[in-house]
Amino acid sequence: TIGELGRVEKKYSRALEVAAGRGMYSVVVEDDGVAEECIKYLKAERIGRATFLPLKNLRVEPPSSAERELASGGHGFALELVRFEKRFEKAFARVFRNTVVVEDIATARKGGVGKARMVTVDGDLVEPSGIMSGGFYQGREGFKEGPDERKLEEEMGRLRREREDLLRQEEEAKK
């Protein structure tokens, strides 16, 4: 499922669970043939229903200029805040659509209700139709949390610079 394939930073966990909605439980398959076989099996065994995301058949809409503008002023697109294998990108793009993550509901309102689908860091959702949903959120078992890649990259950069400085100092000491 999407929820099992993605990793998120704890800070964005709630926002991304809300943005994904039931899409968290969608099953990623290679193509529509595999999806058909799975659906036949579910029917034959009377197990239940599932939503399938056939990678070869998915269509993804690029973000509008208004959505890009809102994303640049907020935390970015939800899709950018989830880590997953590149081959699953279309599935994640379908689930998250072009949802923009913003700080809070006031920021979403300033950005313009109806301009884009927005989710706040604490999980309130504003739909392009103008529908707003939010309030107390009791989390489900959602995305797995992973390391904060931005912090790791910053630390790696700092360590590289420190190493270069030490090598430079060693060279100077040899002179």
Q: What is the per-residue pLDDT across 46-91, written as a single tens digit (0 to 9) for each?
A: 999 999 999 999 999 999 999 999 999 889 999 999 999 999 999 9
Question: Any residues with CB less than 8 A from the CB of 18 and at least 6 apart, and which?
Answer: 119, 123, 124, 125, 137
Is the pLDDT reported for residue 125 higher than 90?
A: yes
Task: Please give the model's pTM, rounded to 2 decimal places.
Answer: 0.77
Mean of pLDDT over the chain: 89
Sign of CA dihedral 141, 118, 131, 22: negative
E strand intervals along the chain: 7-8, 27-29, 52-54, 76-77, 82-83, 100-102, 118-120, 125-126, 132-133, 144-145
Q: Give the pLDDT of residue 153.
A: 65
Q: Give the pLDDT of residue 29.
A: 97
Q: Which position has the higher pLDDT, 158 or 88?
A: 88
Question: Any residues with CB less than 8 A from the CB of 75 and at least 6 apart, and which?
Answer: 12, 15, 81, 100, 101, 102, 103, 121
Residue 139 in contact with residue 158, Cβ under 8 Å?
Answer: no
User: Residues 142-164: what's their mean pLDDT?
Assistant: 67
Q: Give the pLDDT of residue 159.
A: 77
Instruction: Give 112's pLDDT tier (boundaries 50, 70, 90).
Output: confident
Instruction: Give 124's pLDDT tier (boundaries 50, 70, 90).
Output: very high
User: Residues 146-159: what's their mean pLDDT?
Assistant: 64
Is the pLDDT reported for residue 149 higher than 60?
A: no
Closest by CA position to 21, among listed 49, 47, 51: 51
Would you state the structure tokens that stand for residue 49, as one six-digit string? Answer: 């229903």
